[in-house]
């Protein structure tokens, strides 16, 4: 256990559904991240939050909507997804802005049907 938890661990949703992924870190960090991991591709950074402020949006489609109510919690709201959005979604946290080590949660395996 790294101190970063994610729920749900598995999610199957239709293209018209709305769902949310949740991440919580118990490490006292103040930066949190969403990554997407697809087969045969490098980890792709999606969003970065520092002290609850979004500091990076890596050209992510608007069907993905992040929310960071405080430094310990991060959400990813999903709506009208496409089958190509099926992937492992990983949350990570670190001290400050990321020049320090990032610790990953277990991930949510998302399948869009």
Interacting residues toward another protein by CB under 8 A: 2, 40-43, 45, 48, 50, 55-56, 88, 90, 96-107
Least separation in angstroms between residue 70's CB and another protein is 19
Shorter beta-carbon distance to another protein: residue 13 or 45: 45
Q: In angstroms, give the least distance from the CB of 3 to another protein.
A: 12
Hey, what's the torsion of the CAs at 96, 67, 71, 59, to 10 degrees?
-10
The contacts of residue 97 (CB under 8 Å, 6+ apart) are 31, 48, 50, 55
Q: Which residues contact 94 (CB under 8 A, 6 or more apart)?
A: 29, 31, 33, 100, 101, 102, 103
SS3 102: coil
User: Nearer Cβ to another protein, position 9 or 18?
Assistant: 9
Closest approach of another protein to the CB of residue 77, in Å: 21
- Rg, Å, the chain Cα set: 13
| Comparison of 2 and 20: residue with beta carbon closer to another protein | 2
**Shorter beta-carbon distance to another protein: residue 7 or 18:** 7
Instruction: Write down the least CB distance from residue 2 to another protein, Å.
Output: 7
């Amino acid at each position: 256990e790294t101190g970063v938890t994610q729920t749900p661990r598995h999610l199957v949703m239709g293209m018209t559904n709305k769902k949310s992924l949740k991440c919580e870190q118990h490490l006292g960090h103040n930066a949190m991240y969403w990554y997407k991991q697809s087969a045969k591709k490098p980890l792709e950074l999606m969003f970065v939050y520092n002290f609850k402020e979004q500091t990076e949006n890596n050209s992510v489609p608007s069907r993905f909507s992040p929310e960071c109510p405080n430094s310990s919690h991060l959400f990813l709201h999903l709506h009208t997804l496409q089958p190509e959005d099926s992937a492992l979604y990983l949350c990570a946290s670190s001290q400050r802005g990321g020049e320090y080590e990032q610790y990953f949660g277990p991930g949510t395996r998302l399948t869009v049907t």
